[in-house]
Structure 1
Amino acid sequence: MKKCLLILFVFVTFKCAAQPYADSVYNPHIKTIEFYNTKKQASFPVITLQSGEQVLLTFDDLRGGSINYYYSIEHCDSKWNLSNISAAEYLKGFQEDRLTDYTYSTNTLQKYTHYELKLPNDIIAPKIPGNYILKVYEDGDKSKIILTRRLYVLSNRVGVSADIVSSNDPSLKQTNQKINFQVNYSGLNVQNPNADIRVLLLQNARSETGIWSNTPTSIRGTQLIYNDVSINDFPGRNEFRRFDTRSLKLNSERVGHIYRDTANTVVLLGDPLRNQPGYSFQYDNDGNFFILNTEGSEPRRDGDYAHMYFSLAANKTDKEGAAYIVGKFNDYKTDADSKLDYDPVKGRFFTNLFLKQGVYDYEYVWSDRGTGKPDDIPIEGTHFETENDYQLLVYYRPANARWEELVGYRLLNTVKK
């Protein structure tokens, strides 16, 4: 009896301690992860069920050689916890497969092996809509996981319309962007709209700044209306900073110096504080990055790596908090790898990152020592005029169902109507 209670205690403790899945890298040798719908590079990783659409996963292993990588996908709820269903209910084919598409780098100072995977494929394919977590791991051992990516599988069963307007709060009109939207669920059997449907809004595909809408402002027939003055109000933030290292021979945008010896070193021009009241337009890629190489023929195979040196004048010190550099290239993680050091003599924060050639968007995030809350606005500023993408995702859980489905998706842009 005691042994049974101990096993039950361990199981309950593990279940309670489980964390939602996120886009993460668990091995420092794994670099340059791309994951997107093959229709457009760097796009949001959403595919329509049984449409023939695929997502492409690519990554580099700096250890070189070939390693036995395996992959699997698992169904999750809207909050990225594993669904309580068997693999047979959400998968066609097998539960895991070996990753066999890889090539070795050529003509690069940094040697690496480049891996690619397309999903769905003849071996593994989702059977039902919803959130899926893609796991890649070594030797068929899921305890040796190297990365995870979030995959969105859509069954278009609702209509979505939306508008982007300025904030209803007079004090936020110059800084914020508000999204009003409607969901038409006539194609669904909805008994309780407040419980059966929930909507997630993402700005530039960033989950850490997402906003949930679980209760509609009003219901008109089969149309749910979300337009309350106090909801879905996002800081517009600022256009992303960017740099261009398509060439490691010629200085280009934001590049101060390039050194080539046993390794590539790129010193970028110093970055100023941008938390100013006036908006200044500059083109960006909404936080994304693109692997490009002007001296080669296939950037994913002959693009080289370089130590990129960044410096920031933030009018703050490390006694007040910590500065981080983030973008899609590091999944917007504010961790030890993205944290900047502080030079009290120069009064600047600095760091270096080991990145592959290409065009990168990035920004700085400040974590105040008092609150400990990461926030990009103290360094980057926020403006209503900023060009942003918004992803609107509609989830549906029928009464007594054991999983949630993704039944609606809409991509919005503040400039493109």
Structure 2
Amino acid sequence: MSLRVFFSIIALLLMIVTRGQVPQNKTADYIKSAGFVRGNQSTFPHFKLGESFTLEFDDLYADEGNYYYRVIAYNYDWSPSDLRKIEYVTGMDNQRIRTYENSFNTLQDYTHYSLTLPNTQYSITKSGNYTLEIYDDNNEVVIRRKFVLYEDAINVPIQVKRTRNLEFYDTKQRLEFTVPLGDVEYQNPLKNIRVAIFQNGRWDTFLKDITPQYTVATDLVYKYDAETQFWGDNQYLNFDNSDIRQVNNMIGATNVTNGIYNTYLHINDSRRDKTYTYFPDLNGHFYPRTINKFKKVAIEGEYSWVYFTYSPPLDMPVGSDYYVTGMFNDYELTATNKLELNDETGLYEKAILIKQGFTNFKYTVTVNGKVAPEWNADGNFAFTTNTYQVIVYYRGTLDRYDRAIGYGFVNAQDITY
């Protein structure tokens, strides 16, 4: 057997093995600030079909490298769709990203890229689940982001309520919502209509495969307790280094070493055993900005090593690890974002390269490698002002894909009993 045939067989086997796997978001180490944006601020990955949305990122190689994009369709359960590309895309794959600029007058060089869809060369014609892949000349994927395009056929009213389970009365939030079908006829809606529920747009905690509790006329009603509840978590922490040299209530010191800025945050003590305190946050978003309003932050924003220091609770289970997460790094649980124990101080520390601006972040806990929201580093509180999103999917008996036909949004600041 020739090597060419051997490697062809290996590639085919890998394709078969990975075809049934749920796609995972991905970011190469030299790519920073990658995310969907709206109004210069990160945004949740849910967009109305036909409306434009933008992905932006910075390449620290700063060599104006060639990057290309493609969109791949998936079913409700994130298995690959049976649709052919021509059935959901107008345009051709292998389109090169043509909007990019080099950084200007910054210590850290980078090339800033921006891709807006739809555009004159490429558009998506059907609602549903998708991934957007950015890849290089070697067909190596450097960014993968899941997103949902939804139709405006159904508006989902949602209420955030405290759980009826007294054990979790102060620590969990639950959702009650209705899917109003109206006069439109849907085939076997109890089976063919499904929902996905998100807390702050996060993929690592979203809920699915929840059937309606009951129906009222043509409304599907979800008034569960346990099935539609989330741990409350706590308000996001933040820092603002829009003035890259300035200290403030979150930043204790700044300097420049080895030709790059350094931002040292104050120590974050766990808030799990403290009383809940409300303060406004952006529910995980990041907002690159500078104090000079005349600067174009996309290419004139500085990068800084941000030094995080965390003091966890003493009663954490064996196998606990801590990560700095937020939309600035897509909540990725990678070595780049993992805190390391300082044996001398007993504190957990990490330096992460982040673009200057206003950044929400949190400390995510994993136990034995799995996200453990019940052990949230800063506790769980019923009054945390999370946002929730509900997406409604429909697939008729003879349909070949899952449409996203409706959307709902609510902020838990309106929580009721």
TM-score under structure 1 length normalisation: 0.91
1:48 aligns with 2:17: no
1:230 aligns with 2:226: yes
Shift of 1:193: 2.4
1:162-208 Cα shifts (integer Å, max 9, x gaps): 21111010111111111011101235442322320111110000111
Give the % identical residues.
Answer: 27
Describe how 1:294-309 pairs up with structure 2 within 5 A: 294-295=291-292, 297-309=295-307
The higher-RCO structure (CA 8 Å, 6+ apart) is 2
Shift of 1:117: 1.0
Shift of 1:10: 7.7
Runs (4 or more) in structure 1 with deviation over 3 Å come to 6-14, 38-41, 186-189, 315-320
1:83-104 Cα shifts (integer Å, max 9, x gaps): 1111111011223311011111
Match of residue 354 from structure 2: 355
Aligned partner of 2:387: which letter? D
Task: Note if contact 1:184-1:222 (Cα within 8 Å) is conserved in structure 2.
Answer: yes
Shift of 1:323: 1.6
1:284 aligns with 2:281: yes
Task: Note if contact 1:101-1:115 (Cα within 8 Å) is conserved in structure 2.
Answer: yes
Match of residue 396 from structure 1: 394
Partner residue of 1:81 out of 79, 82, 91: 79
Structure 2 alignment gaps of length 5 or more: 1-6
1:223-242 Cα shifts (integer Å, max 9, x gaps): 11111233211111100111
Give the whole-Å Cα distance in 1 for the aligned partners of 2:64 and 2:162: 52
Match of residue 128 from structure 1: 126
Give the whole-Å Cα distance in 2 for the aligned partners of 1:131 and 1:54: 16
Report the count of equivalent residues: 405
Name the SS of the counterpart of 1:15 in structure 2. helix
Name the SS of the counterpart of 2:377 in structure 1. helix
Describe how 1:326-405 pairs up with structure 2 within 5 A: 326-369=325-368, 372-376=369-373, 377-405=375-403
Shift of 1:133: 1.1
Shift of 1:374: 2.1
Structure 1 alignment gaps of length 5 or more: 1-5
Aligned partner of 1:31: which letter? K
Name the SS of the counterpart of 2:268 in structure 1. coil
Give the whole-Å Cα distance in 1 for the aligned partners of 2:13 and 2:107: 49
Task: Note if contact 2:237-2:362 (Cα within 8 Å) is conserved in structure 1.
Answer: yes
* 1:273/1:79 CA distance change after superposition, 3 Å: same
1:215-264 Cα shifts (integer Å, max 9, x gaps): 11002232111112332111111001111111112112411110124111
* 1:171/1:315 CA distance change after superposition, 3 Å: closer
* 1:339/1:179 CA distance change after superposition, 3 Å: same
Give the whole-Å Cα distance in 1 for the aligned partners of 2:211 and 2:187: 14
1:203 aligns with 2:208: no
Match of residue 29 from structure 2: 28
Give the whole-Å Cα distance in 2 for the aligned partners of 1:160 and 1:382: 26
Aligned partner of 2:326: which letter? G
Partner residue of 2:59 out of 52, 58, 61: 61
